[in-house]
Chains A and B, each alone.
Chain A
Amino acid sequence: MTGRGGEPGRPAPEAGGAAAWAAASAAGRPVSESRAGWGARQAGIAGRHRYQIRVRGRLGPTIRSAFPGLRARADGGDTVLTGVLADQAALYGVLAEAEALGLELLEVRRLPPRDQPREPSS
């Protein structure tokens, strides 16, 4: 993981960050940092990383079962899916699944190794 994505808590200036900014502000939400843009491309396509994907609405058990590798956590009116994905192909697979189910995507970010949340015990 490179640290090119900008300081935590501040919008990242790169293209990927801008897209997240646009998506987030369109949904009327505060913008959080995105590290999944330019920096990710610099780091290379391969490799497992921990990702966090925020979608609008509370996901029930049926839709949650579409993302077996990810942990779902309710956060306000949203759901945050977190988990390790093998590579970019796996990430795009998750995004395609979300698209197929008509979910509203709010944010995608790659978590830096050091401030990863603790492993869920489950």
Chain B
Amino acid sequence: MIAAVAPGKAEDDAGRVAGVGAAGVVARPGLFGRLGGPARVTVVAAPAGSGKTVLLRSWMDQPGLSGRAAWVPAGREERDPQHFWLAVLAALRRTVPGSALVAPLTAAPDLDGWAITERLLADLAPLDDQLWLVVDDVHEQGPQVLRQLELLVMRAPPGLRFVLAARHDVRLGLHRLRLEGELAEIRTDDLRFSLAEAAELFAAAGVELPAATVAVLHERTEGWAAGLRLAALSLAGHPDPGRFAAEFTGSERTVAEYLLAEVLDRQPEPVRRLLLRTSILERVNGELADLLTGDSGGERVLQDLEAANAFTVALDTSRTWFRYHQMFAGLLQLQLRRTAPDEVAGLHRAAAGWFAGHGYPVEAIRHVQQAQDWGLAARLLADHWPTLHLDGQAAVIHELLAGFPAETRAADAELTAVAAGDELSQGSLEAAERYLHLAERGLASVREGRQGQARLLVGMVRLLHARQRGNRPAVAEEARRLQAAAEAPEAVRPGLGGELRALALISLGSTEFWVARFAEAERHLEQGVALARRIGRPYLEFTGLVYAASLEFFRSFALTVEHSMQAVELAERHGWTGEPTTAVASLNVGGALVWQGRLEEAEPWMQGGERTLRAEAEPAVELLIRSIRGLLELARGRDADALATFQAADRVAARLSEPNLMVHGNRSFLVQTLVRLGETDRAEQVLAGLDDHDRERAQMCISLATLRLAQDNPREAIAALAPVLDGSAPLPWPAWLAQPFLLEAIARDALGDQIAAESALERALDLAEPDGVLLWFLLHPAPGLLERHAGHRTAHASLIAEVRSLLAGTKSAGPPAQPRPLLEPLSTSELRVLRYLPTNLTGPEIAGELYVSHNTVKTHLRTLYAKLGTHHRAETVARARDLGLLAPSARKLSSGRAERPGRDLLRELTS
């Protein structure tokens, strides 16, 4: 007998899904209890069709869990590490506690999964509630995501619970949790339906069966969820359930195959056709279904299938996109290939056309590849490469490239250029070079309309290649070539090419900035930012803004601060706060504030820059950070700290291969600091060690003047300053010129020449006024001179008042309030080891996690201790937290779960 058949049954059931109304999910309180139990991590491991997903979703639907469980599905896209983490963040933000704690993040090129994990830990540290992160199909993830997930599990706040579902056990180091009683497992046998549950499932599906028939079906399916559900679908509206059960039991065919055939047999032709033909899709909507079947009403069929719980899941709340259960789709695809092999390629082609036309290039390319139309697939990938690259989909690009036959990859110039870019991001430089070579050779055969775009693409990849090799002359050369390609009119095709061109302009501009070709940099950045804004590419806009703001540093502090802050705001909105480019923006602001004497305001900006600094960074960035930090400490009166920082910067300067504005400025400050510390002999030695050319530079003349003033020799100080003041020894930007005029004023004052002193001071104030550069007046305090000058005719009375109040304030500079910054930045691999220190893994275990030897970990630990100035593990973790290198401790807040403190690796180091 059939109960509760769909309301549509009476009117028009010709094209409707048999078994509609067969919905109904069995509540499984026993398993629900285990999922919500005391264990911090629950693993659900069982083969396909065991009912993992249905169990988890019905558990999450319980009223008590609404808004406290984040669901991360396992679509194909989530297999990309960056996309997996973006999906985790998005899912957490949809929960009640998560929406308050977790900051948003927008996709961008090269976002680092490790950094995202760290920031998630920082965001969730204050979590004082229970929050479940439910990840489906964990077995689909690669080793990198698994290790990051494992780190998250190990360091998560106690309120964060994990439910991880997988078809087979994955390497997640969970045995440690098992030992600590924090792991619960739900496995195949636990998921099997009991006889009572099976009866309930049939009843909920509207199928009334005699108890004996239920028992037979339960035995034959062995309580396997997919089998029972397929049986319920076959039985809805079945005239003779007893016979069905008997035939099923009599068959030796596998449960899934037998029952799928039964289900399909019972569907009206349009539904069967839809199921078979749309099985080739990763996801389907009504329009696509109609396109592939040539029918109409596909959306209703899909909604009916979902309502019938027929292995069809809606992907959105408005129920327009659906996905089939993987095993079900697999079986349907096999059936389609067997029964209509000639139609498969045509279906893929039709699907590709739809996806391409609706802005889903990745799916379009996958279907074109399935249809084996390699030429079209290659053109689509080349056209969409900039979009995918900017969306950080490096892993997707890699996977799509792997979908081409090797000979296609080598023969198509644009595809070869994409392959070269892929090798740059995750392969070998040599392979990239080989591909670039092939791409260059193949350019001639690219057809007319695509020539310009192809040249731009090859040029972009060549520039990236030169940058990665760190070959400066080659970078400059490639930048010149790319400039020609980017400015060629044929580089832009209508509707396409805007992203590629914006990407090229911004890459070009930032490269030119680093090689000090400022005029070209400015032009390209300006064009690039405007284009990025027009086509809606915030990451490019942000990068361009940062470098444009850096250029303004030499002209106007107001502009550099304004534009850098705009860029930082943009970065904050999108969650790119840990990016190296954001650090450059922070430094612009921090540097300007230091020069303006706003020292405490500068501090957080400087820390923001210092935090993201890595040993592998551009030496020019490190030099800049150190030099400004030194100035900040010097202005605060912490001369010894300043000296150490300037010395560190000077060591970095030795690694630079091209001239840099900061080298001599830094050395000048180093000498001035020695003078302030009373180390005049050492200051003399540094100056004597320079060659004549360097000694005659304006910055060094200034440092010599401070030395002579300290030696009570104002006459020689004035002599040293003369070439700077008459312009024969130029300074890089005008605000700096205030310093030699101030020193001149002090020297003249010492000689008793008050008129000359006041005129020099007025000149210094003139130069300092536009940008409010007060730094010099802090470094060379002359309160008496200023007081007297304020009483005379000066155009800068308010500036003088500001300096005097600042001088009064800094006198009382106390001990360092902030943690002292690292003198040497951490390398990426040291940072990786550091991230494991708050866990209770031993040295050899950390080595195992990172696939390196224990000796390597020991070496990194020694360096970490040295760089952080610490002696054991707990101290290292505490200091790294103070510096913002590690997320704050969440466990401290809770009672029972303190970190293992005295777990000191020093012992292991010496073992």
Contacts and interface: CB of A to CB of B under 8 A. Distances in A.
A and B, one complex?
yes
A46 interface: no
B338 A65 contact: yes
B49 A102 contact: yes
Contacts of B167: 99
Interface stretch (B247-255, B353-361, B759-767): B247-255
A66 interface: yes
Interface in A72-117: 74, 77, 99-104
Given A60-B261, A61-B338, A65-B337, A102 B253 contact: no
B257 A63 contact: yes
Contact of A60 (B48, B226, B253, B326): B253
A3 interface: no
Interface stretch (B15-23, B327-335, B464-472): B327-335
A62 interface: yes
Given A61-B338, A63-B331, A99 B47 contact: yes
Contacts of B439: none
A69 interface: no
Given A99-B167, A99-B168, A102-B226, A62 B257 contact: yes
A23 to B, nearest CB: 13
A92 B330 CA distance: 17
Closest 8 CB pairs of A and B: A57-B254, A102-B48, A58-B252, A102-B49, A60-B257, A62-B334, A65-B338, A102-B327
Interface in A16-52: none
Contacts of A58: 251-254
A59 interface: yes
Contact of B252 (A63, A65, A77, A102): A77
Nearest to B227: A102
Contacts, number: 58
B219 to A, nearest CB: 14
B257 A99 contact: no
B260 to A, nearest CB: 8
Interface string B47-79: 111000000000000000000000000000000
Nearest to B333: A66
Interface in B725-758: none
User: Interface size bucket, A side?
Assistant: 10 to 19
Interface of A: 56-63, 65-66, 74, 77, 99-104
Nearest to B139: A99
User: Interface size bucket, B side?
Assistant: 20 to 34
B256 interface: yes
Interface in B216-262: 226, 251-258, 260-261
Given A60-B253, A62-B331, A102 B261 contact: no
A104 B327 CA distance: 13
30 contacts: A56-B254, A57-B253, A57-B254, A58-B252, A58-B253, A58-B254, A59-B253, A59-B257, A60-B254, A60-B257, A62-B257, A62-B261, A62-B335, A63-B257, A65-B337, A66-B334, A99-B47, A99-B48, A99-B167, A99-B168, A101-B48, A101-B256, A101-B327, A101-B330, A101-B331, A102-B47, A102-B226, A102-B256, A102-B327, A104-B47
A99 B166 CA distance: 12
A70 B621 CA distance: 60
Given A99-B168, A101-B330, A102-B49, 12 more contacts: A57-B252, A57-B253, A60-B261, A61-B338, A62-B261, A63-B334, A65-B334, A65-B337, A66-B334, A74-B252, A77-B252, A102-B48
Nearest to B47: A102
A63 B258 CA distance: 10
A62 B338 contact: yes
Given A57-B254, A60-B257, A63-B254, A100 B48 contact: yes
A104 B50 CA distance: 12
A66 B329 CA distance: 13
A103 B47 CA distance: 8
Nearest to B226: A102
A59 B251 CA distance: 11
